Amino acid sequence: MARSSDEAPDYGRGVVILDNWPGYDLNLFTYPQHYYGDLDSVLIPHGIIVDRIERLAKDIMKDIGNCDIMVLCVLKGGYKFCADLVEHLKNISRNSDRFVSMKVDFIRLKSYKNDQSMGEMQIIGGEDLSTLAGKNVLIVEDVVGTGRTMTALLGNIRKYKPNMIKVASLLVKRTPRCDGFRPDYVGFEIPNVFVVGYALDYNEYFRDLNELVHFDPLLLQHICVINEHGKEKYRV
Ligand code: IMP
Ligand code: MG
């Protein structure tokens, strides 16, 4: 997280986690026992995730809080981020003089198998996108890797002529395969590693969605780096 003093900070990158950041030792935190041995380190503890989202909500409201917002949550990975972000957006709206109408909709995409992008993005669920016509859309995504998923989704959504589209992504990876796409709001810029937890999955594992519904204090709340053993164990 170092920066030379004459370099201006680029807040558009979010909190920058450098490649040489070893992460936190897993033994310093709690996480579900069934994942013991499958993880490498805690990259971002839950508390820091939530603190950062609070600030993203403030930035978003400052920019687009003067209009009604249609939040489009990209399932399933964006679920936790979206829930926490919307909670903060609502709090800010409640405490301001202008009521911001906010609707939340969901879309489901799939592009990864194991830890590799399959290139082609499939929309496999969600509302009829024509309801986005004329709306101010805030897309809420968990992680932008190569950027292909988001570029494909944006291409699709633009066809329905929304008034405005902004993208908030909790994470952006520094990857050489990046197609240049950058979200408008970024929580954290991370090294090119595969991460799980906080609803981000590896082949649907580590997401613990059932536990999200029946609140379980042992769900994987932190964003963690999966290790080779974990990748092998949950490979499909
Ligand atoms: P992209 O098309 O390479 O930008 O990949 C973005 C999509 O892949 C995201 O919507 C995620 O759902 C998924 N993804 C990419 N990297 C990770 C990761 O490290 N953990 C979990 N999901 C990931
Ligand atoms: Mg996603």
Distance of CA 98 from the midpoint of ligand 1 (Å) = 36
Q: 35 near 230, Cβ under 8 Å?
A: yes
Task: Kindly give the distance from the C-alpha atom of residue 143 to the centroid of ligand 1, in angstroms, as a whole number.
Answer: 5
pTM, full prediction: 0.90
Cα 79 to Cα 111: distance, rounded to the nearest angstrom: 17
Which one-letter DSSP state was computed for residue 153?
Answer: H
Specify the pLDDT at position 201. Answer: 82
Q: What's the pLDDT score for residue 120?
A: 66
**pLDDT value at position 77?**
86
The DSSP code for 145 is S
For the stretch 219-229, pLDDT in tens is 789 999 999 99
Cα 189 to averaged position of ligand 1 atoms, centre (Å): 13
What pLDDT was estimated at residue 223? 95
pLDDT for 65: 82
Which residues sit with their C-beta closer than 6 Å to ligand 1?
77, 111-112, 117, 141-149, 194-196, 200-201
pLDDT < 50 regions, the chain: 1-2, 214
Q: What are phi and psi of 200, to 5 degrees?
A: -80, 135
For the CA of 202, the closest atom of ligand 1 is: 21
Residue nearest to atom 12 of ligand 1 (CA): 77
What was the pLDDT predicted at 140?
A: 96
Distance 189 CA to ligand 2 centre (A): 15
Query: What pLDDT, on the 0 to 100 scale, is given for residue 75?
Result: 86
Helical axes 79-94 vs 46-64, angle rounded to 10°: 50
Predicted local distance difference test score (pLDDT) of residue 126: 60
Q: What is the pLDDT of residue 181?
A: 86
Pocket test for ligand 1, best of 108, 143, 182 (most atoms within 8 A of CB): 143
> Rounded distance, CA 154 to CA 173, Å?
19
- pLDDT tens-place string over residues 116-143: 665 566 777 666 788 899 999 999 999 9
CA–chain centroid gap for 163, Å, is: 23
Measure the CA–CA gap between 55 and 165, rounded to whole angstroms.
Answer: 20
- pLDDT, position 116: 67
Beta bridge partners of 72: 105, 139
